[in-house]
């Protein structure tokens, strides 16, 4: 991702319905540029843009002014894209830190855990260990949200969409904004209104 792309993603901070419109446009028709962003760059932008629309219990942070910690477990599809995007940025007054984990035992105080494709065989065990931890789980693994993950990134017609498992989020005491849910391709929940 070049510096111009990074700055455009960082500087645009819409609110309310305008944000929904922007996220939809970003997901469906990224502006034509000399070099179109890669899937990894788009997924990195999603992780960054999810942060303002999710609420975590205060005890899930290292301190009252501690950083948002995005952890990556297993294969890292982002390269430097995620690091470059969040460098020097703050969300809700908190800086953002990226950590790459060699094992789940190092998850600590992550607010977001991206589970890489290399962890597909261990996914049920990972999700089971995190079931009551206030960690937003995100992955591009097939049927991730349906399998108990919180946000699954899906590729549909060469566009990135996302699905939300509302029950998994509630079990972890994480609140996902209705604005974000409106943009989801699917929201899975066993509870009917």
The arrangement of secondary structure in 3-188, i.e. its CATH architecture, is 3-Layer(aba) Sandwich (3.40)
- Integer CA distances (angstroms), 187 to 21, 113, 146, in order: 19, 19, 9
How is the chain split into domains, by residue range?
3-188
- Cα(41)–Cα(48) distance, rounded to whole angstroms? 11
Given pLDDT bands bounded at 50, 70 and 90, which one contains residue 9?
A: low
Radius of gyration of the chain from its Cα atoms, rounded to whole angstroms: 16
- Cα(133)–Cα(165) distance, rounded to whole angstroms? 15
- pTM, 2 dp: 0.80
Please tell me the predicted confidence (pLDDT) of residue 32.
47
Mean pLDDT of 26-34: 50
- Which tops the pLDDT comparison, 91 or 2? 91
Please tell me the predicted confidence (pLDDT) of residue 69.
95
Mean pLDDT of 168-178: 95
């Amino acid at each position: 991702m070049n510096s111009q792309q990074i700055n455009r993603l960082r500087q645009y901070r819409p609110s309310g319905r305008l944000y929904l419109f922007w996220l939809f446009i970003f997901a469906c028709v990224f502006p034509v540029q000399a070099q179109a962003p890669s899937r990894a760059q788009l997924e990195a932008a999603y992780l960054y843009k999810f942060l303002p629309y999710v609420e975590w219990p205060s005890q899930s942070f290292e301190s009252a002014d501690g950083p948002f910690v995005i952890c990556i477990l297993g294969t890292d599809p982002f390269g430097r894209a995620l690091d470059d995007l969040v460098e020097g940025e703050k969300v809700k007054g908190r800086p953002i830190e990226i950590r790459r984990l060699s094992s789940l035992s190092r998850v600590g105080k992550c607010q977001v855990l991206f589970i890489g494709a290399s962890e597909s065989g261990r996914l049920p065990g990972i999700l089971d260990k995190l079931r009551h931890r206030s960690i937003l789980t995100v992955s591009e693994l097939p049927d991730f949200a349906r399998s108990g993950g919180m946000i699954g990134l899906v590729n549909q017609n060469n566009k990135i969409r996302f699905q939300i498992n509302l029950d998994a989020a509630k079990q972890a005491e994480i609140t996902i904004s209705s604005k974000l849910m409106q943009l989801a391709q699917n929201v899975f929940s066993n509870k009917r209104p």
